[in-house]
Amino acid sequence: MTTSTSSSSERYLGAAIEADPTVPMIHIRRDFRATPAQLMRAHTDPELFARWIGPDSVAMRIDHWDCRTLGSYRYVGERDGEEFAFRGTFPEISEHRLVQTFTWEGMPEAIALETMTFTDLGDGWTRLHAQSLCDSFEGRDGMLSSGMDVGVHEGYAKLDRLLAAGEVAAS
């Protein structure tokens, strides 16, 4: 569920996933009861990342993880004996921003440039804003219709549980 953000006291309690009308980009906004450092760690620590990313029905494993500026990654999802992999690079990792390329190996020509920022909202809340710039409007619309919303919502719910259980310490 999404709330409006017309005032700073309102929150994105569920992921808001929106297609940009002017460029082939997807915006995702979600607020978490966490610090920016905790969210950065959840996105950069391979063991934590594999525990929350994606739908509940998919088991993720990290194949390669070199999470540093100019590093790269590859992770593999498995559901019902079928495997599918995602890979990319990390052009930039800083204190409150992560930039990565992202591609599903089933369509290696469709590479998105993703930028995530983690903004401290105060009172123990942080806003994640992810934007994925796709190679075309068709690519963006294909990503949106792929079921990615299920993975986003279920993955962030898993991340909420890890945060609430105290399993994501700031690095």
State pLDDT tens for residues 40-91: 999 999 999 999 999 999 999 999 999 999 999 999 999 999 999 999 999 9
In a domain, 74, yes or no: yes
Residue entry with tokens 């700031």? 170
In a domain, 154, yes or no: yes
In a domain, 39, yes or no: yes
In a domain, 6, yes or no: no
Phi, psi of 79 (to 5 degrees): -145, 125
State pLDDT tens for residues 67-79: 999 999 999 999 9
In a domain, 171, yes or no: no
Separation of alpha carbons 6 and 60, rounded Å: 37
- Going by pLDDT thresholds of 50, 70 and 90, the confidence category of residue 3 is very low
Overall number of domains in the chain = 1
State pLDDT tens for residues 114-137: 999 999 999 999 999 999 999 999
- Going by pLDDT thresholds of 50, 70 and 90, the confidence category of residue 9 is low
CATH number for the domain spanning 81: value is 3.30.530.20
State pLDDT tens for residues 137-171: 999 999 999 999 999 999 999 999 999 999 999 87
Domain hosting residue 57, numbered range: 18-164
In a domain, 8, yes or no: no
Q: Is the pLDDT of residue 20 over 60?
A: yes
In a domain, 79, yes or no: yes
In a domain, 134, yes or no: yes
What is the pLDDT at residue 1?
Answer: 35
From residue 5, how far is each of 9, 12, 18, 94 by CA, in Å? Answer: 8, 8, 14, 26
